Amino acid sequence: MSKVTIRYRTISNAKLSVYLDYSPPIYNPYKGKLQRKEYLKLHIFDKPVRKADKLHNKETMGLVEFIRAERQIDIQNRRFGFLSDTVRDSSFIDFFMGYTAKRRKSTSDNHAMSIRYFIAFAGNDIKFGDLCDFLCEDYKSFLLGGPGISRRGKPISRNTAVNYFGKFRSALSEAFAKGFIYMDLYRIVKPIKSKETHRDRLDIEEFQRLASTSTSSDLMKRAALFSGLTGLRFSDVQTLTYSEIKGVKGKYYLQYIQSKTEAAEILPISDQAFELTEKNEKKEGHVFKGLKYSRLKLFFAAWLSKAGIDKNITFHSFRHTYATLQLEHGTDVFTLSKMLGHKSLKSTQIYANIVDRKKKEAAERIVIDLTGL
């Protein structure tokens, strides 16, 4: 049986590329030959000096050790599907489409809608290597928000969310059975239950604490804060280009195609939000180039822990944060609906209900003794 060892290769900018070494080599059924090395596309700093670099090394090596242990178990169980870079980099969307197409009973069958909702959430670029429990849980949160992508913009019911998420989980089970993903996400990610609640969101103090907390990834931090200041979904943040940013100081706006509805949108943004995009001197291509969902889970866990925030926050939580903070600061529901790109006020009303509930809870906090009256 092969032994899996972590090794390093020197690359540019005083960094080390991390890879796994299989000794003796194992047979790769996808390439038809023996394979000794598996590059993880991860790096650490050779001689970290800054606190952020040391934190990056610690978090990265934690992830590497987790992958190494899983690879060792996979080898013991004679599962080698993880060795195929071709499979890992291929489109999960294409697979999901093919999987649902085989199960459609008619042109109106909701198998077709299940894939439309996943694309509305994640975009068209999700690969097998991007799939993780964090992304799946965030998609669950998205569906629980009752989004509506039909022409009428009618929000989906909880039962419909249960249905669509169930089909997504079935596709994950099939992908695992065929060796396209190495984690059994179907078993790891639980289905939507009737009593499940919305995910946590941040209050303004917590949002500020995150903004003030240093992190191992400037890219992921800026992307999350940008979502919290604009309300954009992950798919829209990931695909945003510099050519879609317009205007001048005090009058910046985005002119883009919303991934969920494919509608042309014009969204005013604050100067602060604009500042989060000012990291590429060339000002071309994608604003948050290299942003991947599969890397967010560990990053968020470390970021929230360092900021002292004990909440289950995902990327989609920043959109929830934007919506509820806007309402709490006096933005009317109609305006917020336009800012979020909702087709129907019913979708936005969900956030208004959250704010109303918070106000009711606040009103009940002040209690005095009235027995003397």
Contact 186, 173 (CB under 8 A): yes
Please report the pLDDT score of residue 302 as a whole number: 94
Question: What distances in angstroms separate CA 301 from CA 59, 191, 307, 318, one per listed residue?
Answer: 10, 23, 10, 15
Close Cβ partners of 33 (under 8 Å, ≥ 6 residues apart): 27
Extract the tokens encoding 172: 């994950």
- How many other CB atoms are there within 10 angstroms of residue 88's CB atom? 18
Please report the pLDDT score of residue 81 as a whole number: 58
Report the interhelical angle of 345-363 vs 333-340 (nearest 10°): 130
Give CA–CA dist 155/175, Å, rounded: 29
Give CA–CA dist 243/221, Å, rounded: 22
- pTM across the whole model: 0.58
Please report the pLDDT score of residue 106 as a whole number: 47
Contact 42, 18 (CB under 8 A): yes
- Going by C-alpha positions, the residue among 64, 144, 124, 109 that lies closest to residue 314 is 144
Question: What distances in angstroms separate CA 316 from CA 93, 205, 226, one per listed residue?
Answer: 20, 18, 12
The segments of the chain whose pLDDT lies below 70 read 1, 27-33, 77-88, 104-110, 150-153, 194-199, 259-262, 357-363, 365, 367-369, 372-373
In tens, the pLDDT along 137-165 reads: 999 989 988 787 766 667 888 888 998 99
